[in-house]
Amino acid sequence: MNELYELIEKKIKASGYSRPISGADVYDDICDQIDGKENGTYLLLSKFEEDVVFEYHITIRDEDFNLGVLTMKTPEGTFEVDFDA
């Protein structure tokens, strides 16, 4: 899992997002957001920090999920990561 967390962190930092970020925290937040949801495509909003909103564009399947796009809205600007690219 550490490899996955590092990949999440690397892609987020590459978007220009300059705040400290933990791939494990992002992954855990996604898991909390999708818990109990049916299969389908969702746009989920999460107040990741007091002044930061994460928008997760997620497809949920029986055994897994796919995070397509993550948009981070902060006072410093909006940052986007396309995990499918």
Which 3-state string (H, E, C) describes 18-65? CCCCCHHHHHHHHHHHHCCCCCEEEEEEEEEECCEEEEEEEEECCCCE
What is d(CA 59, CA 67) in angstroms, rounded to the nearest whole number? 7
Sorted by sequence, the CB contacts under 8 Å of residue 64 that are 6+ apart come out as none
> Which domain covers residue 60, as residue numbers?
2-82
State pLDDT tens for residues 21-31.
999 999 999 99
pTM equals 0.90
Q: Sort 63 into a burial class: Cβ within 10 Å, 0-12 / 13-18 / 19+.
A: exposed
Domains in the chain, number: 1
Per-residue model confidence as pLDDT tens digits over 65-81:
999 999 999 999 999 99
Res. 1: pLDDT tops 90:
no
Q: What is the mean pLDDT of residues 37-59?
A: 96
Cα torsion angle, 28, 29, 35, 37, sign: negative
Tokens linked to 61:
């399947």
